[in-house]
Amino acid sequence: GIGAAIARAYARERPGTRLVLVARNRRNLRAVAAECARLDPRGEAAVFVCDTADEAAVARLAGIMAAKKTADL
């Protein structure tokens, strides 16, 4: 999807970017993270399974990300 395409573009064009990948499907997330790692060995891609239609799940994810404060995108 568009999120995966954006992640790949950042990995390719902005070396060292710390990405946060969010989707419902863990397998797809891991595949995109692996591709980003191949495109940018210096970058990072954190993977979070989350249904963005679930308000409580999004709130939990927001709390996790606020505590980490380590993502560029």
Q: Is the pLDDT of residue 73 over 90?
A: no
Q: How far apart, in Å, are the Cα atoms of 53 and each of 13, 23, 48, 59? A: 30, 11, 14, 11
> Which residues are CB-neighbours of 20 under 8 A, at least 6 positions away?
45, 46, 48, 65, 71, 73
Q: With CA atoms as reference, report the closest residue to 19 among 37, 1, 58, 62.
A: 37
Q: Is the pLDDT of residue 70 over 80?
A: no
Instruction: Write the pLDDT tens digit of every residue in 44-63.
Output: 999 999 999 999 999 999 99
Kindly state the average pLDDT of the residues 5-11: 96
Q: Model-level pTM?
A: 0.84
DSSP-assigned beta bridge partners for residue 49:
23
Largest CA distance in the chain: 34
Q: Please report the pLDDT score of residue 50 as a whole number.
A: 94
